[in-house]
Amino acid sequence: MAGFYKKRKGKGKGSRTIPWQPIAVLVLMAVSFVAGMWTHSVLNRPLQTDAGLTYIEDIPVITDYIPEGSRARPGGLREIKYLVIHETDNFSAGADAAAHNSFIHQNANAEEGIVSWHYTVDDHEIYHHLPDDEPGYHAGDLMEADGGNMNGVGIEMCVNEDGNYEQTLVNAERLCARLLIEYGLKPSKALKKHQDFSGKVCPAKLIDSGRWDEFCAAVEKKYEELKAADAAG
């Protein structure tokens, strides 16, 4: 076993160094074990289940899922990593959350142009179209790993001309903050624009007015308030 032990100059007969190679092997084995346990816990942690929201403060959340088996509901479970923010780009009077809920149901089995997302928010209510733990077709990136469709909760904000856009923003901020809490996500990492996944300028009104950072800051503020309130019981 050459190299494990060697005599030191100037020491008494039989003096030996510490056997460093076995210690190094043991350290590497311990590090590998810890890394393996961490990887196992990540790969095998339970997936999030839908939060089952019914109200966001005083705003009703109306659940009306796209039927299972529809082309717009691909099904399957996934890890939730992002909240993907959109705007409907429908400025017509009456194009509120209820109208978009009707649209998404009527087109759930369209031959082409399939779209689906999880929530539509307007100035007085929120519609919930897909379970949060299922993917949808809203981010324009197919089903790429770590993508908006595969791992994002799609949230559409209404921009109808007869609605109150500022209140819609507030309601969306409240929804995002609650979802971040429910799924253990960090605002700085989880809040994404549709644009981040496909390049499309969406949410257009928020981007064009230079208010994206303002929106994110408002969500984070509400998130911290909710965390404090939850901690206080």
Span 173-218, pLDDT tens digits: 999 999 999 999 999 999 999 999 999 999 999 999 999 999 999 9
Shared domain check, 19 and 134: no
Shared domain check, 217 and 141: yes
Shared domain check, 219 and 142: yes
Q: Is 200 within a domain?
A: yes
Decide: 96 and 160 in contact? Cβ < 8 Å.
Answer: yes
Q: Is 10 within a domain?
A: no
The model's pTM is 0.81
Q: Is 7 within a domain?
A: no
Shared domain check, 197 and 84: yes
Shared domain check, 83 and 29: no
Shared domain check, 67 and 181: yes
Domain range spanning residue 162?
55-232
Answer whether residue 32 shows pLDDT above 90: no
- pLDDT at residue 29 in the model: 58
- pLDDT at residue 26 in the model: 60
Span 81-112, pLDDT tens digits: 999 999 999 999 999 999 999 999 999 999 99
Q: How confident is the model at residue 3 (pLDDT cuts 50, 70, 90)?
A: very low
- pLDDT at residue 19 in the model: 61
Domain count for the chain, please give it: 2
Shared domain check, 142 and 174: yes
- pLDDT at residue 77 in the model: 95
